[in-house]
Amino acid sequence: MAWTTFLSPIRGSFANQKQVYAIGALLKSNKKSFPQQLYVSALLYIDHVLAKKSLESIQALLCCALFSIRSSMGPSVWNLSGLALRQCIELGYHRNVKKINLKTNLLRLELRKRVFWCAYQMDCASSVNLGLPLSLPIQEVDTEFPLDIDDSSITETGVEGPPRPPGGPVTTMSHALHQFRIRCIWARIYASIYSNSATQSHSDESYQAQVQSLRRELDEWMAATPPEPQRAGVPLTVFANTEDYKVTYNETILFLYRGQLTRRENVQDEVFLECMQAASDICQSCKRLYIGKPINYTWSTLHVIFLAGLTNLHCLWTSPAVRQAARIDSVSNSFTTCTMLLAIMAERWEGAAPYRDLFEALASRAMAMLVERKQHEPLSTSPAEPAIPNMEDLTQWAAQIADVGMPDAFGSLLSGLIGDYSLEGQESNDSLWEF
pTM of the entire structure? 0.85
> What integer pLDDT is reported at residue 164 of this predicted model?
86
Query: 360 pLDDT band (50/70/90 cuts)?
Result: very high
Mean of all residue pLDDT scores within the chain: 82
Closest CA to 73 of 36, 46, 120: 36
Question: In sequence order, which residues have a C-beta less than 8 Å from that of residue 131 and are 6 or more positions away?
Answer: 406, 407, 408, 409, 410, 411
> What integer pLDDT is reported at residue 243 of this predicted model?
95
Question: In sequence order, which residues have a C-beta less than 8 Å from that of residue 220 and are 6 or more positions away?
Answer: none
* pLDDT tens digits along 203-219: 788 888 999 999 999 99
CB atoms inside a 10 Å sphere around CB 250: 25
For residue 294, what is the DSSP state? S
* pLDDT tens digits along 73-87: 778 899 999 999 999
Q: How far is CA 360 from CA 96, 310, 334, 346, in A?
A: 49, 11, 12, 12
Q: What is the mean pLDDT of residues 112-135?
A: 94
> What integer pLDDT is reported at residue 28 of this predicted model?
75
**Contact assessment for residue 355 and residue 406, using Cβ atoms and an 8 Å cutoff:** no
> What integer pLDDT is reported at residue 44 of this predicted model?
84
**Contact assessment for residue 316 and residue 142, using Cβ atoms and an 8 Å cutoff:** no
Question: In sequence order, which residues have a C-beta less than 8 Å from that of residue 3 and are 6 or more positions away?
Answer: none
Q: How far apart are CA 408 and CA 175, in angstroms?
A: 29
Closest CA to 181 of 131, 252, 97, 232: 252
One DSSP character per residue, 323-382 reads: HHH--HHHHHHHHHHHHHHHHHHHHH-GGGHHHHHHHHHHHHHHHHHHHHHHTTPPP---
Least confident of 27-31, 53-57, 161-165, 192-196: 27-31
Query: 311 pLDDT band (50/70/90 cuts)?
Result: very high
Query: 159 pLDDT band (50/70/90 cuts)?
Result: confident
Whether the pLDDT of residue 57 is over 60: the answer is: yes
Q: What is the mean pLDDT of residues 227-253?
A: 90
Whether the pLDDT of residue 17 is over 70: the answer is: yes
Q: How far apart are CA 110 and CA 434, in angstroms?
A: 59
Q: How far is CA 316 from CA 124, 237, 279, in A?
A: 30, 33, 11
Closest CA to 23 of 69, 67, 61: 67
**Contact assessment for residue 73 and residue 38, using Cβ atoms and an 8 Å cutoff:** no
Least confident of 142-151, 241-250, 398-407: 398-407
| Distance from chain centroid for Cα 122 | 9
Question: In sequence order, which residues have a C-beta less than 8 Å from that of residue 39 and are 6 or more positions away?
Answer: 18, 19, 22, 67, 71, 73, 74
Closest CA to 71 of 41, 39, 44: 39
Kind and range of the H or E run holding 398 = helix 391-403
Query: 200 pLDDT band (50/70/90 cuts)?
Result: confident
Q: How far apart are CA 337 and CA 332, in angstroms?
A: 8
Query: 156 pLDDT band (50/70/90 cuts)?
Result: confident
One DSSP character per residue, 118-163 reads: HHHHHHHHHHHHHT---SS-GGG--PPPPPSS-GGGB-SS-BSSPP
* pLDDT tens digits along 323-347: 889 889 999 999 999 999 999 999 8
* pLDDT tens digits along 371-416: 877 665 444 443 334 344 555 555 665 665 555 555 666 666 666 5
CB atoms inside a 10 Å sphere around CB 73: 11
Report the percent of the chain where pLDDT is more than 70: 81
Query: 4 pLDDT band (50/70/90 cuts)?
Result: very low
Higher-confidence position of 165 and 81:
81
Report the percent of the chain where pLDDT is more than 90: 45
Least confident of 43-57, 285-299, 415-429: 415-429
> What integer pLDDT is reported at residue 1 of this predicted model?
36
Q: How far apart are CA 123 and CA 304, in angstroms?
A: 16
